[in-house]
């Protein structure tokens, strides 16, 4: 009988400890962190949404997207993102790279095909096509392109929109993010934000 009471008492203590831990760590901690995020960094806490001129959410500053037609062809009036290996392309539920090594024949073939397509689209020599124009990022969701790739697209976008190339180049410069902390990474351009700025020129 004494052994049974001891067991029941220990079980009761365990259940109460579990309930307290659930309330403190599962509910309380979550509520505090959510509150702090909403107060200090609301945009980041809500997924860094990007809105158009009408105030409609059209994407996230953290997740890239394609600017192609129904057949997958690049829309000439928009800056193009880097390729994506995430699902069918920029699928946040399937974030990943291709996981193919640099000597993989499939990867080499894909890069060769992409380089030729970009060179034809931009009217340049394939040798001048930047690496990020033909390779996916590790996550497959990178919303940025290099300044070199953005610069390569200026002439095409300006012609497609009947704009002065100088004005388009100025937009690229205005939407270029410098190195983090002044020395980490490379300058980069958020493609979605740049394309929205182009649309706003209308």
Give the Cα separation of 103 and 148 in Å (integer).
25
DSSP class per residue in 11-40: HHHHHHHHHHHIIIIIIIHHHHHHHHHHHH
- The helix/strand/coil state of 196 is helix
Same domain, 99 and 135: yes
Same domain, 32 and 92: no
> Could you report the per-residue pLDDT of 96-110, keeping only the tens digit for each?
777 888 889 999 999
Same domain, 75 and 170: yes
- Tokens 């009471």 -> residue: 5
Same domain, 78 and 24: no
Helical (H) or strand (E) element with 173:
helix 165-174
Same domain, 137 and 187: yes
Q: For all residues of the chain together, what is the average pLDDT?
A: 89
Same domain, 24 and 97: no
- The helix/strand/coil state of 7 is helix
Same domain, 152 and 195: yes
100: Cβ contacts below 8 Å, ≥ 6 apart: 106, 107
Same domain, 121 and 159: yes
Number of structural domains the chain divides into = 2
Q: What is the pLDDT of residue 11?
A: 81
Q: What is the pLDDT of residue 50?
A: 84
Residue ranges, the chain, pLDDT below 70: 1-2, 41, 43-44, 202
Tell me how many helices (H) and strands (E) the chain has: 7, 5
Full domain range(s) for residue 79: 48-200
Summarize the chain as % helix, strand, coil (round to 5): 50, 10, 40
- The helix/strand/coil state of 2 is helix
Same domain, 95 and 13: no
Same domain, 119 and 172: yes
Same domain, 36 and 60: no
46: Cβ contacts below 8 Å, ≥ 6 apart: 38
């Amino acid at each position: 009988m004494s052994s049974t009471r001891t067991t029941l008492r220990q079980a009761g203590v365990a259940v109460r400890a579990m309930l307290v831990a659930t309330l403190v760590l599962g509910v309380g901690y979550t509520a505090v962190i959510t509150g702090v995020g909403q107060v200090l960094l609301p945009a980041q806490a809500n997924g860094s949404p990007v809105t158009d001129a009408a105030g409609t959410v059209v994407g996230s500053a953290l997740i890239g997207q394609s600017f192609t037609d129904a057949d997958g062809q690049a829309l000439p009036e928009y800056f193009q993102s880097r390729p994506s290996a995430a699902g069918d392309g920029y699928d946040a539920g399937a974030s990943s790279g291709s996981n193919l090594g640099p000597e993989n024949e499939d990867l080499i073939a894909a890069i060769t095909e992409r380089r030729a397509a970009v060179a034809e689209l931009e009217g340049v020599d394939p040798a001048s096509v930047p690496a990020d124009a033909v390779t996916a990022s590790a996550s497959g969701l990178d919303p940025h392109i290099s300044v070199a790739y953005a610069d390569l697209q200026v002439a095409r976008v300006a012609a497609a929109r009947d704009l002065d190339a100088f004005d388009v180049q100025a937009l690229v410069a205005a939407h270029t993010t410098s190195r983090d902390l002044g020395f980490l990474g490379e300058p980069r351009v958020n493609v979605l934000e740049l394309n929205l700025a182009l649309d706003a020129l209308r």
